[in-house]
Amino acid sequence: MNISKIVLVSILLLTSTYTWSQTYNMDDIDGVTTTTCSGNFFDSGNGGFGDYANNENFIATFCSGGTDFLRFIINPDENAAGYDIAAGDVLTVYDGTGTGGTVLATYTNTNDPGSNSIILNSTSNCVTFQWISNASTDADGWNIAIECIPPGCGDGSNPVPADDFANAPFVCNFDGYCASTVGYTEDEPHNFVGGGNCPVIFGGTIENNSWLAFEASGPNISFQIDVIGCYGAFGYVPDPSIIEYGIQAAILHFDGTNTFTLVSDCSLSDGQQLSLTLTNTSALTTGDTYYLVVDGSAGSECDYSINVTGDAQTLDAGADATICNGTSTTLTATGPAGATYSWTGSDGSGPTAGASISVSPGSMTTYTVEATGACTNLTDDVVISLMACAACSIDGLAAGTQTACNVGDNTYTQVVTVTYSNPPATGTLTVAGQNFAIGTSPQDVILTGLTADGNAVDVTANFTADTGCTMTSNGLFTAPAACAVVCSPDNGTWD
């Protein structure tokens, strides 16, 4: 199952009813903001145990209390009593606090999911419900389970897992990644089961495993995998028991022919887990592809989220920066081996190919880099802001120490002192065509490999990030006379 803003999930009919520890009745929390990440939200008739009343007008707000977004499962028990709104009555869901935000969904008698559930993902950490019933018919109302998910969970920014390892998508940003074991079938390629280190490669039985691939950027990695909720024969369970529901996971390496090797802790890839930390037990090889396999333990169909620490290669457009108005800067993207990069700017610039590009924005601009190759449609942004800076100027060039001509190659070395003010924050200082790191004014630079010919030398200095900041001094110094030995034949002929 792919999590989206509103997803209709068809699963098995209800044969039993679950009870959650915290309940919220609409009439009890009218005008109240409730901070929670769990529980069940009912109409004033307590979700099927009694009808709501006519002429009700209630508003209730839920907040996660942190950075997590709220997620709601309408009719989690998947029975007729879990959703029953009479004609003319309306439950409206707004993003944020109050009724002035974006309408996320509207539920009436036309939305009845029957024996299914509806999943509603919010786009912030607060959501407001407004309930209005008319003066005519009432009904059983609703039952809505509440939970929290990481920001970006299920927003489509990462690919969905594959049903088999051969088609496992590369994931280059696991943070905030959400997926599910729903809809996947058993895949036991090569020695996946029945040999290896545990003594089996993957502990327990395999029913609905899903596959993801990543590239190692160093020797160590750790995945934090949390179960959001599970589906089973009895409907949606926002707080499943590890006896009945859960996931199992492992990190695997494949030799490209017929052998998988387990590279994570076997105890974490065995048994039913609601929350687990999966860490490599043998060093990863930088640049190699590894597989993260997640299975619903004992056939559980679970939604889960992933956060990662350590050495999984990601796409990074670099840090946001502020530069002086009228100057340029270099943007550099890092990402998986073999990736190619293309940049576009919010100012309409691009696309420009290359891992590193030079930009000179005329206003604050967001640059988006897309990596293709190992990762599909992976992007990252960097914002370049502008500030008014005092104008750069090169105020003086002075000749310093000069070496004698080198007989071996007829060259010499010259020291030049450059005096400047307000230099750009990036780029280099160029003097007589040679580049130097920008230091502190006055700055001595050493010109090497100059040709000795006894002539006066004109010198130009400028900054690569601000080529308009320049100065030329004609005849700044005189080169020493040529010193190379010149051979000529004796009496006009060579002996």
One-letter amino acid identity for 359?
V
pLDDT over threshold 90, residue 471:
yes
Closest CA relative to residue 128, chosen from 153, 100, 149: 100
Closest CA relative to residue 182, chosen from 265, 258, 117, 96: 117
One-letter amino acid identity for 185?
T
Contacts (Cβ under 8 Å, ≥6 apart) of 487: none
Closest CA relative to residue 107, chosen from 73, 62, 64: 73
DSSP string for 103-146:
EEEEE-GGG--TTSEEEEE-SSSEEEEEEE--SS----EEEEEE
C-alpha to C-alpha distance for 460 and 96, rounded to whole angstroms: 60
Higher pLDDT, 299 or 56: 56
pLDDT over threshold 80, residue 235:
no
Closest CA relative to residue 337, chosen from 385, 291, 311, 375: 375
What is the distance of C-alpha 44 from the center of its chain? Answer: 41
pLDDT over threshold 60, residue 377:
no
> What does the pLDDT read at residue 203?
65
pLDDT over threshold 90, residue 490:
no
pTM of the entire predicted model: 0.54
pLDDT over threshold 50, residue 17:
no
Instruction: Calculate ∠ Cα 456-458-462, nearest 5°.
Output: 160
C-alpha to C-alpha distance for 198 and 195, rounded to whole angstroms: 8
Closest CA relative to residue 259, chosen from 324, 190, 310: 190
What are the structure tokens assigned to 54, written together? 């006519």
Q: 417-468, pLDDT tens digit by residue?
A: 999 998 988 889 999 999 999 999 999 999 999 999 999 999 999 999 888 8
